Amino acid sequence: MAHMNEIKHRIKSIKDTRQITKAMQLISASKLRKARKQLDETLPYFDKVRLTMADILAHSHNMDNRFFDLRHEKMGRKRAYVILTGDKGLAGSYNHNVIRIAEKHLEKHPGSLLMVAGHVGQHYFMKKRANIDLNFDYPTLNPNIFRAREMSEYILKAFEREKVDEVYMIYTFLKTTLNLEVLVNKILPLDLDELKEELNIETSIHSENIVYEPSPSAVLHLLVQKYMKGIIYGALVEAFTSEQSSRMTSMDSATKNADEILRHLKLYYNRARQAAITQEIMEIVDG
């Protein structure tokens, strides 16, 4: 009887855990859809910013902008990595993959400044005593335009003050639900030739009679800041959706494992129950 009671308690515990994993799976699916919807709604605005930048670059020559400063003449260039991890665990290998790629780059460029968003990454690199910018303390839960603006302003100021000379962003990109890829993109300084190619100036159709006030250079400076905000917001949303997708997959796998364990436990319980009934019958017959 004691053995049967242990199995019953075990079944109850697994059922409670299964309810949690199933609920987390559904919540992650809901958050994923919400985040993708937010990104789709804001993309047209940032696309317009990109096209306006393309127009200015196409019809202006020798444009001077501090964010295009490649600093070729500078020795000992200081690197910074903006690393986007999750704020919580239970997301499979999501956080581990981002941290692993970041560590590979740190091995090649020791002493690089780390700007880590997400509590998991912050706690990990603090334990490793890495060179973390403690003022760059942002959560990655529920990404929004306001948080992206704060992050982009902080990064741009660090670049303008020559605290860093190159800035790279490490985050996870969602290809498919089961295919996540960690990307390492250089976001500063902006490369004029690469930007022109990316914005596809040759195929952009704009009027050459557009007048920018107070000047094309001033407008470009403002647009670059909005462009950076769009890059960071897009990366935040991609990282967040990747985290939710990874958590959804992990919780789905945990739920299936719980179902399998419950199936085996019920089988063991039925066998133990049948054995107890048989034992009682044998005792009655013997009596």
β-partners of residue 114 are: 81, 132
- DSSP-assigned states of every residue in 250-261: HHHHHHHHHHHH
Check residue 124 and give its pLDDT.
95
Which residue carries 């444009």 as its tokens?
A: 63
Going along the chain from its start, the domains and CATH numbers come out as 2-26+254-286 (1.10.287.80), 27-249 (3.40.1380.10)
pLDDT tens for each residue of 271-286: 888 887 888 888 788 7
Bond from prior residue into 44 cis (ω within 30 degrees of 0): no
Mean pLDDT for 169-189 is 88
Average pLDDT over residues 14-22: 89
Which of 8 and 195 is assigned the larger pLDDT? Answer: 8
What pLDDT is stored for residue 205 in this prediction? 46
Does position 196 have pLDDT exceeding 80, yes or no?
no
Contact, 88 vs 120, CB < 8 A? Answer: yes
Residue 36 clears pLDDT 60, i.e. is over it: yes
Q: What is the pLDDT of residues 38-91, one digit of tens each?
A: 777 777 777 777 677 766 766 666 566 677 776 766 677 889 999 999 998 888
Q: What is the mean pLDDT of residues 170-184?
A: 87
Which spans in the chain are helix H?
2-59, 94-108, 119-127, 145-160, 192-199, 216-286
